[in-house]
Chains A and B, each alone.
Chain A
Amino acid sequence: MSSDLRDLYQEMILDHCKRPRNFHAMPSPDRKAEGYNPLCGDRETVYLDLEDDVLKDVSFQGAGCAISTASASMMTESVKGKTRAEADALFERFHDLITGKPDSQAGPELGKLAVFSGVREYPVRVKCATLPWHTLKAALDGAGVPVSTESEGPAAESGGA
């Protein structure tokens, strides 16, 4: 693999893609939401158990690319046990990382989520990495409608054939 591809598909990402963690439906979650990426037709469902303001348990299901699957898997591990505000702040910092915004050094530590830094070199793949996070946000907001990656930018698959 060329070195730049290795930047995107880091070992940890490939590992989470092949063996996603918390990859199951919850029989009776407090919240759940469905995320959709029209670019690739991927759908992901995020399940959530809340205890007051704390994300007690998080899981996901669906079929996606390596980046979205690994992102979902690592997200569930990262946000479990965090408060809602902490999860929101983590997403913000994660989003800055993968869109190449200068790091403010503020907010929570990204920890192993930093392996997604290579995504910034692949603008068309940013939505793959953010899909599970948007879906988590929708679950937290209790929105009943599926969330789409296209709420954050122009449609990626608008025409052609």
Chain B
Amino acid sequence: MSTAVRETGAAYDVAALRRDFPILATKVYGKPLVYLDNAASAQKPLAVIDAERDVYERCYANIHRGVHWLSVHATDAYDTAREKARAFVNAREAHEIIFLRGTTEAVNLVAQTYGRRNVGAGDEILITGLEHHSNIVPWQMLCEEKGARLSVVPLDDAGEIDPDMLERMLTPRTKLVSVAHLSNALGTVLPVKRIAELAHARGIPVFVDGAQAVSRMPVDVQDLDCDFYAFSSHKIYGPTGVGVLYGKTALLEAMPPWQGGGDMIRSVTFEKTTYNALPYKFEAGTPNIAGGIAFGAALDYVSGIGLDRIAAHEHDLLAYATEQVSAIEGLKIIGTAREKAGVLSFVLDRVHPHDIGTVLDREGIAIRTGHHCAQPVMERYGLSATARASFGLYNTRGEVDAFVAAIHKVIGMFR
């Protein structure tokens, strides 16, 4: 990793950080890649690529099984990654960190275990209008099965959620509140700490979808006091196929296991199986071992830079980009919450987002166009799609300039 940024107080040296990401040297149609699709997935630093390679080259074996040297080393490395994830979100215990495939799987796990046990006919699950499909559909499936109801706190025009409104929508039938920490489609930061206070005052647990937040702001699950917090490795510069469900010990203990298989059992006979302790109870089957270890390397990497400094850098980029595009006639920013991070969604008069995406692509600029797996958000604004630029720790003001210049080119073509 960049030694330039390791020393506390050193300036944020984005040029040095960029050298940590080999893919950023790529040319797209002969032009330098400008990667502004970080909300979909972030690129990987050498530290992560090397860590994954290193596992396979030096210490790969299955974990929690063998007595042999390799298995012991692989197990150690995997457990160390879990400890890194614990420290990263400041969980009390490492066993509160369940390793899964990603945020989506975490939502499904909680819906299928906590949800199936605690939600019955006539009960309610409360979400908000800005959720990603993965924080809607698993609850819908649960509600359908149980005859329960999904309530949705509406979005205002800016893309904010009014906590007072949310409070009024908590009823004696509400069994769980599930909210995003940061909206992938709008960039809104939700006041999850306040939401947890409101829900807890009525004894209702809170699940937080942190997929977009963990790479963009320091997260402390004890301070937020949420009951569950989920995030994915690939959005925080780690490999795909790895993610974390944090849960408070008491809740996780009380939940039934989800998938059955190896690692989640203590003993099996044909009459009766006893389940393993946390976190293994929820980790059936051989996990993504090398990915999990490289995920630990990704957490080391971002921690080495400092989440507060990454947040400040992205905040500067977002503010700069917002200012630049606001001057463009006929461009409308979708999502103007007072507290935003990392995401700039917009539409252009008389130009479809898809066409914006194609023209920018030919300029080497990668953005996302479409509904961002958040169709209800699009519907709220009467749109079928937006164009979205989302920033990462390695983006620069110069890249924002290239992005703005390309939008002007789009306008020249289509108007």
- In the complex formed, the residue of B with least CB distance to A1 is B413
- State in angstroms the CA–CA spacing of A42 and B355 once bound together: 13
Asked whether, in the complex, the Cβ of A66 is within 8 Å of the Cβ of B385, the reply is no
CB proximity to A under 8 Å, residues B118-159: 132
Query: CB-CB < 8 A to A14: which residues of B?
Result: 413-414
Asked whether, in the complex, the Cβ of A40 is within 8 Å of the Cβ of B352, the reply is yes
Asked whether, in the complex, the Cβ of B355 is within 8 Å of the Cβ of A67, the reply is yes
Query: CB-CB < 8 A to A67: which residues of B?
Result: 354-355
- In the complex formed, the residue of B with least CB distance to A36 is B384
Query: CB-CB < 8 A to B412: which residues of A?
Result: 1
A21-49 interface mask toward B, CB cutoff 8 Å, 1 = contact, 0 = none?
00000000000000000011111000000
Min CB distance A157 to B, Å, is 6
The answer to whether A114 has its CB under 8 Å from any CB of chain B is no
The answer to whether A160 has its CB under 8 Å from any CB of chain B is yes
Asked whether, in the complex, the Cβ of A161 is within 8 Å of the Cβ of B370, the reply is no
B366-392 interface mask toward A, CB cutoff 8 Å, 1 = contact, 0 = none?
001111110100100000110000000
The answer to whether A65 has its CB under 8 Å from any CB of chain B is yes
Asked whether, in the complex, the Cβ of A161 is within 8 Å of the Cβ of B39, the reply is yes
- Which of B211, B235, B370 has a CB less than 8 Å from the CB of A39? B370
The answer to whether B112 has its CB under 8 Å from any CB of chain A is no
A100-140 interface mask toward B, CB cutoff 8 Å, 1 = contact, 0 = none?
00000000000000000000001001001000000000000
The answer to whether B266 has its CB under 8 Å from any CB of chain A is no
The answer to whether A63 has its CB under 8 Å from any CB of chain B is yes
The answer to whether B405 has its CB under 8 Å from any CB of chain A is no
- Which of B39, B362, B372, B378 has a CB less than 8 Å from the CB of A2? B362
Min CB distance A10 to B, Å, is 12
The answer to whether B194 has its CB under 8 Å from any CB of chain A is no
Asked whether, in the complex, the Cβ of B409 is within 8 Å of the Cβ of A160, the reply is no
Given A65-B352, A66-B352, A157-B370, A40:B385 Cβ within 8 A:
yes
The answer to whether B41 has its CB under 8 Å from any CB of chain A is yes
Asked whether, in the complex, the Cβ of B41 is within 8 Å of the Cβ of A40, the reply is no
- State in angstroms the CA–CA spacing of A21 and B119 once bound together: 53
The answer to whether B353 has its CB under 8 Å from any CB of chain A is yes
The answer to whether B288 has its CB under 8 Å from any CB of chain A is no
CB proximity to B under 8 Å, residues A46-75: 63-67, 69
The answer to whether A153 has its CB under 8 Å from any CB of chain B is no
The answer to whether B358 has its CB under 8 Å from any CB of chain A is yes
The answer to whether B359 has its CB under 8 Å from any CB of chain A is yes
The answer to whether A152 has its CB under 8 Å from any CB of chain B is no
The answer to whether A17 has its CB under 8 Å from any CB of chain B is yes
Total CB contacts across the A-B interface at under 8 A:
76
Asked whether, in the complex, the Cβ of A9 is within 8 Å of the Cβ of B353, the reply is no
CB proximity to A under 8 Å, residues B232-270: 235
Given A14-B414, A41-B378, A66-B414, A159:B373 Cβ within 8 A:
yes
- State in angstroms the CA–CA spacing of A40 and B386 once bound together: 9
Asked whether, in the complex, the Cβ of A1 is within 8 Å of the Cβ of B409, the reply is yes
CB proximity to B under 8 Å, residues A1-18: 1-2, 4-5, 8-9, 14, 17-18
- In the complex formed, the residue of B with least CB distance to A5 is B362
CB proximity to A under 8 Å, residues B36-88: 39-41
Query: CB-CB < 8 A to B40: which residues of A?
Result: 160-161
CB proximity to A under 8 Å, residues B392-415: 409, 412-414
Query: CB-CB < 8 A to A8: which residues of B?
Result: 358
Asked whether, in the complex, the Cβ of A17 is within 8 Å of the Cβ of B370, the reply is no
- State in angstroms the CA–CA spacing of A41 and B384 once bound together: 5
Most buried by A among B355, B369, B409: B355
Given A43-B384, A64-B352, A161:B212 Cβ within 8 A:
yes
Min CB distance A63 to B, Å, is 7
- State in angstroms the CA–CA spacing of A128 and B369 once bound together: 14
Min CB distance A70 to B, Å, is 11
Given A161-B39, A161-B184, A65:B354 Cβ within 8 A:
yes
Most buried by A among B41, B354, B359, B384: B354
Interface residues of A (CB under 8 A from B): 1-2, 4-5, 8-9, 14, 17-18, 39-43, 63-67, 69, 122, 125, 128, 157, 159-161
Q: Could you write out 22 A-B pairs with CB less than 8 Å apart?
A: A1-B409, A17-B414, A39-B370, A40-B352, A40-B353, A40-B384, A40-B385, A41-B371, A41-B378, A42-B385, A63-B352, A64-B352, A65-B353, A66-B351, A67-B354, A67-B355, A157-B373, A159-B373, A160-B40, A161-B39, A161-B184, A161-B373
Extra contacts, 14 of them, besides A14-B413, A40-B353 (Cβ < 8 A), are A1-B409, A41-B371, A41-B384, A42-B352, A42-B384, A64-B352, A65-B353, A66-B352, A66-B355, A128-B354, A157-B371, A160-B41, A161-B184, A161-B373
